[in-house]
Structure 1
Amino acid sequence: MSGTTVVAPERPGQPPAPTAAQSRFRPELQGVRALASLLVVVYHVWLDRISGGVDVFFLVSGFLITGQLYRALLRGKIELRPMWGRMIKRLFPAAMTVLLTVVVVSTLLLPADRWFQTIREVFASALFYENWQLAADSVDYFAQHNSASLVQHFWSLSIQGQFYLLWPLIFVALGFLVRRLGLSLRHTVNTLLITLFVASLAYSVYLTAVDQPLAYFHGLTRVWEFALGGLMVMFLDAFTLPRSLRVVLGWIGVAGLVLCGIVLRVDSVFPGWIALWPTLSAGLVLVAGQTNTVFGADRWLSSKPLGYLGNLSFSLYLWHWPVLVFYLVVRDRAAVGLLGGAVVIGASFVLSILTYHFIENPIRLSKIGTVKRWGAYRFGILALAPVLIAAGVWGTYTSAQANYTISLADADHPGAAAHAPGFVYRGSAEPSIVPPTLKLPEDWAGIPDDKCTMSPRNEELKVCTQNPDGPPKKRVVLVGDSHMQQYLAAFLPMVQTEGWAVTSMLKGACPFSSNADLMPGDQACMDWNKAAADEIVAMRPDAVVTLASVNTHAGVPETTPAGFVNQWSVMDKAGIPVVALRDNPRFAFSMAACVAQQGPANPACVLDRDAVQPAAPSYTDTRGVPGNVSFLDFTDYFCDKETCPPVVGNVLVYMDDNHLTATFLTTLAPIADKQVKAALKW
């Protein structure tokens, strides 16, 4: 890039000759890959942060693939079959090896309550839609409590796989238009890339502002990074910079890559406009190019050690995360520490080297796909099949083991009834504890979607109603956040026992209030609550059931926010009775995990009642409570007089650190039935 490049003028419909930047090997790219992968690993393992290295992968992929496609159009035709075949040979060997290993090792080391999540995400990763799976989980409040999965890092590979599939199709269509309309290929490609860059970046900035977790995994918020790589390959040779300036730019780019994750909390601000930092940093390295001087960053990036690390970068990225998660699980730790991190990184390197030399590279260099036209595709199916079969068998076993439904006639598992006055246990001497650990992630109550409608008052207000067989005797609405959803397990049985119609209006982290009490400033929550109140007033139910208080975090005093009272007053003016339930305790750890690891009687899992739930509810001192409100407190069924145990009546009370299991609340149904009717004088 030290000289001036002359590009012959194009005639309409005639492509120009390829320029040097579009056709020559860029050895510094291997160094960029190596640096990006190393930053990803170090930041994940030791710093518990995100580096921005994945964004660099996207830019480099856009740079390389766009260059290949453009050169193919210059030659006259894009060969899709061999291009996708090479992609399969490049991605599948290492990816499927890691996924199959994760399935096998997880059955031996991973806690059973994480099996469902892992199985679901292995399927998503193997079929290259893990980013969309995580995007769906990011907007599903009840999935947000999932632990870090062993394969969640496959989200970026999924986006790359989708890019490798769609980008060539876009260029095929573009080539057709160029030939058909007699357009300039270069100008048309540039127009397309600029349009995609601007549109995707604008959408990324918007979605990051309104829903950052969703934006992080959304494929459309990342298109601009690939497009930016494409623009660089199209424009790099359009100008020439002095060597001294390129030396400086190269080192600025390297420094930007290293410092990005330190200066920014990437996990909370990406991928909006701030993701320009790592991508433009990598772009500066590409602009610097080959400086042919010992002072250039390219000299270091093109070195043999970094070149070799660049070869390992794909396998290293795939291995480091499951190795890290398995280490934390086996060691029962939240962080690895300096020495533990060294062990994780060392093990990841060993696995990467073995994978590269004995699986990835031999298959990539083999004659698969060259002797037979569809050989690479047959190989892809053969590589994918063991992963899907293994995950399918594991999933079938897990579903069978988790197939448990509580029965109120089950003497072994009285649950909440065990704390009722005068209770006498009549079950077996050595009962099991239910629900099975495998079932915990799915142990939620809910009304089927086919009984739900979306309210026109708010795009997020989902109104679901379970009706009895005949005309309902009463209509009851449960409204609020996940701590109200859990109580559906106690109220849905009343549909049959009492003939009530039970309606739910639920939004995660958004209790029924005139304010956003759990997430201050959450306008979407406040808008939803206003719409929910209007919907309820229009429905005129016989009663509304909602929270009376909130326990926001372990150790934080219980409160009854003024916004709760405001909503109760709205109901009062409409003549609608309110049953307000005291919130259950929250803990600093998962009670279910403690039971699985330590046993239900271990003192570490049994907490003093006074420490987690004060004797006097917060609403006893709340002013302005309207006369339509009746308070119910079920704490005596979660806790005994002195402690709050994780298991009551041989039933797990908690599924995590703050949510009650549907199984336990089902055993509370007869008790709740009596107390609700008494409170409402029904």
Structure 2
Amino acid sequence: LPAPILRLAAVLITSGLLILGCDENQQGFLLTNRPIVYLGDISYVVYLAHWPTIILWKSVSDSTSLSIFGIFNCLLITFKISIVAHHTIEQFFIRSKVKAVSIVVSLIYGLLAIGLMFNVPATVNTSVASRAASVDVAAAIEWNERVSHNAYRQHRPCKECLDDPEGQRMRGGYTGKGDRFECIWKPDKANGSVKILIIGNSVAHLAISILKPVIEENFPQVELVRLYSMPACRPTEVVQYVCPPYHKALPKQVQAMKPDITMIMYDDAILFITSSKIGQERKILKKTFNKYKV
């Protein structure tokens, strides 16, 4: 379901509980309903735990939105964390006396204050950095800048991959908002008419540097390679809240270009979609490309 509908459902359910709670005839039912009471008990921990869980999940999955699978897993992880925290930390503070709780909280804040006074965070960072003395820091910084999302458009996957106004016309002029990776590469020694379209997230952008020498050495029949990808947008995800315009533009791109091979790349997944006239080339290309890592 779309996010606005989910938010509306949550508001209506919460409003219903509040209205029932105001009715004296219904208060007994609510207060004796153990599942509802237990959800109320852990609600504050759920509130504190859900956002860090979502951020970690998006970071691990390299996605700005959550699929149905991601939503289900985030809910499951959040409730597990909340239940454990409720029966340990929260129950300790609830059952302990004010004096004991005050001592624990004071110790925590005291340790944080002492750490800041003696500059412990900076000392830890310096210690960690000194362990990586063998790393060329300048080269690492340059590489990070080169592959960071903010600089993708300034750094083509290869110098031969040029601007692609034709690709923009194919999808009705849509260019997208924010960062996008698009260019077209036509091998100099091509002697065939095979056209390849590469779509996906940032992995597709990085994959061009691997595909280029593979195609040059093994596939002279490739006439052109067109890249059109968007960071953190997976074309195969069913639910997307951030990338609908990109997804709507993809069919137009494919229908207008009619590629012989379409590569869908994200994370470790590489999907090949081919036309009927491409047979052996697809098998060889996939076998060759699978030898490499993005």
Query: What TM-score does the superposition give when structure 2 sets the normalisation length?
Result: 0.40
Flag the structure with larger Rg.
1
